[in-house]
Each structure stands twice: as C-alpha cells, then as structure tokens.
Amino acid sequence: MLPPFSHGGFWLYCFGVIWIWQLQVVFAGGRTQPGTLKPDEGECHPYSIIECEATRDAILLSVIYIQKILRRRPFLIKNLENVMRRLLQSLELFEENERKKLAIFTALAFSQKLSGLPPETVFQPLLKDNLVAKGLVLSFMTDFFKDYLVDNSLDDLISLLKRGKIEDDLLQFFPSTKRSAEGFSEHFTKAGLVPLVEYNEKKIFEVKLKEMKSALTTQIVEESDMSEVIETVKQRVKDAKLPDIEVIRILWDVIMDAVQWSGKNQQQNANSALRQVKTWAKLLNSFCTSGNIELELIYKVQMQCYEDAKLMKLFPEIVRSLYDQDVLAEDTILHWFRKGTNLKGRYAFISYVL
C-alpha cells in the first residue's frame, strides 16, 4: 500500500529515502547497492568515515562529498542532523579509533560550515550521563577541540560552543570524579590545549569576581557591621585566590555604586560621595596593605572621576578624605603627583590639586 500522498509525492519520498541511506553509508561504510549482504556484492562506498584513515585529509573528502549532496538537496540537512545525533549518542559502540574519526569529521564539518549544521544538534546528544561517566565524551571533545583549532581561532571555538549552549560549563564533559578546575587544567594542558586552559581560568576568575562583588554590594547596601564585611571579603579573597590589586578595585566600585545619586544639585551629590568614602574608609584601609595597592586605589579614583561628570571636580577632596582616614599615605600621594603613570585625566587633576 502506497503512503497517503500523490504519485509524484511518493517518488519524492522514495528519492529522499535513497539519499538518507546514502548519508548513513558515508558514515558507517557499506555497499553502494542497498540490501546487499555478501562482501562481493556491490562496490564499497569511497567516502566512508568509519572505514577511512584517521587523518584530516582522508576525512575531509567525506565532508566535501556530503557538502555537495546538501547543496543539491538542502532538505537533507535534517537527515544529517539525525544521523549524527544517533552516532554521537552511541559513542560507546565504536572503537577508540572510530570515535576519533567522528571527532575529526565533526570538527571539519564546522570548519567547512557544512550547510548550516546547528552546533546544538551535535553537542547536546553527547551529554548522556553514561557517556560522560565513561570518559568517552571528554575524549571525543578533546579530539574535536584539537582538530577544530587547526583551522580556527579560540574565539571561533568559544563562539561555536556558545551557539551549542555548552560554553558556560565545559566541566560537564568530565566524569564526576574528575570534575574540577584543577582536573580541567591538567587534562587540557597535557592535550596541548593551553589557550583553552587559560580561557577557562579567566572565566572562573571573572565568575569569582562577580560573586564577590554581588555579596559585598548586598552587605554595603544593607549597612552591615564593618567587621562582618571585612571578614566576608577576606574569606572570599582566600577562597578565590584573588590578587590584592583586583580586590581594591572591586571595593572601590562597590562603595561608589552604593552612593545615593539623588541630590538636586552637584554639591549634594558630592556630599553623598564623600560621606560614603568616609563611612567605608576602614574597609579600604584593611586591604591597602602596600604602597602599590594604595597607588592602584588612586588610579581607580582618578579613572572614575575622569569618566563621571558628577565626580570630575571631586578628585582632590576624595584623595584628601582617604588621606585623613589613613587609607592613603603621604608618600603614595606624592609619588602619584610626581611620577604617576596613568595619564587619563592626570594633568587635569594635578591642576585641581595645585
């Protein structure tokens, strides 16, 4: 009995089935005559990914072949997605060398922009718990990263991972027993993917900064006890291993962000800012533990006052307030005055000081 469509539609259906079968054969290998069982019946497909050598040049031929098919039959892209999804969900059924070939093919498919193949279709099926637990996904993605970066930049890779909705947590590829920042760095350093390690470390650092800033903002807005705020910052600095210079920048940003800029005139706004500086001077003082950090604080004040019209003429008063509250030493201020290296607005502020 024929499918419920017109005679012409039936032949279109049959034609599509033939091409779907053809795509499957390109991956898995086999005969070019459907239904053959014996080795001597039909010709071996010349572009089988599983049967070819595990080299980029050999697998590129299959990518180009599929690309030609999809240009003539763009409706088959969905079928390609389905074939790849089934293959990647079944990684455990392949040998290690075969999984490597699939990883190379996937990298080349995206490098060659294979007819708009959606990254999400490829990556999401890999996140099956059993595949991750066995380390198969990590091995596949490592091979994929290495081959993709041959032709593309790290920024290209990150953009691809974002489109695949997996960039936010690359640790999800690791078995639970190895799922740590240290494990990530060790694994991909051994694999020669140092730029990826550096990217991940930077991302982790940015997340920790954001978390610290959020927690500190809440405490300052709620006017928590000074000793409690200082202890919170110290604990987060210790846990996140944040550099002292970065800490002082965050403290200044949070303190100034909490200023109520609701005054009806410039003087009221200035008074609010100076009052905030005085209130939280002890917090700044607790982390200004060297001349270099004090100088960094002056630079931070300098940049904000230069970029914010409300604070442009307030720079000398803020510096004086920080000096009066023992946050800044006289030697640090004199060093900034004579040899300061941050030039943005520097000469304008020197004239204010004079």
Q: How far does CA 16 lie from the centroid of its chain? A: 39
pLDDT exceeds 60 at position 248: yes
Task: Classify residue 135 by its DSSP letter.
Answer: T
Same domain, 15 and 154: yes
Residue 208 lies in a domain: no
Residue 120 lies in a domain: yes
Same domain, 278 and 163: no
Range of the domain at 293: 243-353
Residue that has been written with the tokens 């070819």 in this structure? 52
104: left (phi over 0), alpha (psi -120 to 50) or beta: alpha
Same domain, 11 and 138: yes
Strand partners of residue 44: 31
How large is the average pLDDT for residues 230-239? 89
Last residue of a domain, one of 142, 168, 194: 168
At residue 349, what is the residue type? F
Name the domain count of the chain. 2
At 44, give phi and psi (nearest 5°): -70, 140
How large is the average pLDDT for residues 87-106? 89
Same domain, 252 and 133: no
- 3-class SS of residue 109: helix
Mean residue pLDDT across the chain:
81
Residue that has been written with the tokens 């599929």 in this structure? 66
Element (H, E) at 183: helix 181-190
Residue 135 confidence (pLDDT): 94
Same domain, 247 and 127: no
Write down the pTM of the prediction.
0.72
Residue 21 confidence (pLDDT): 45
Same domain, 130 and 266: no
Residue 293, domain CATH: 1.25.40.180
Same domain, 30 and 130: yes
Residue 88 lies in a domain: yes
Residue 288 lies in a domain: yes
- The span from the CA of 105 to the CA of 83, in Å, is 13
Is residue 62 within 8 A of residue 112, CB to CB? The reply is no
Q: Which two tokens stand for residue 330?
A: 């006289």
Residue 44 confidence (pLDDT): 53
- The span from the CA of 215 to the CA of 213, in Å, is 6
Same domain, 29 and 152: yes
Residue 125 confidence (pLDDT): 84
Is residue 292 within 8 A of residue 336, CB to CB? The reply is no
- The span from the CA of 170 to the CA of 166, in Å, is 7
- The span from the CA of 161 to the CA of 142, in Å, is 13
Residue 353 confidence (pLDDT): 52
- The span from the CA of 106 to the CA of 123, in Å, is 10
Last residue of a domain, one of 137, 152, 168: 168
Is residue 149 within 8 A of residue 157, CB to CB? The reply is yes
- What are the tens digits of pLDDT across the range 11-64? 333 333 334 445 555 555 554 444 444 445 555 556 677 777 888 998 888 888
29: left (phi over 0), alpha (psi -120 to 50) or beta: left
Last residue of a domain, one of 125, 151, 168: 168
- What are the tens digits of pLDDT across the range 181-190? 899 999 999 9
Is residue 102 within 8 A of residue 136, CB to CB? The reply is no
Residue 62 confidence (pLDDT): 82
Is residue 318 within 8 A of residue 305, CB to CB? The reply is yes
Same domain, 152 and 256: no
How large is the average pLDDT for residues 122-140? 91
- What are the tens digits of pLDDT across the range 259-310? 877 656 777 778 888 889 999 999 999 999 999 999 999 999 988 888 887 7
pLDDT exceeds 80 at position 140: yes
Same domain, 12 and 153: yes
pLDDT exceeds 70 at position 7: no
At 31, give phi and psi (nearest 5°): -95, 155
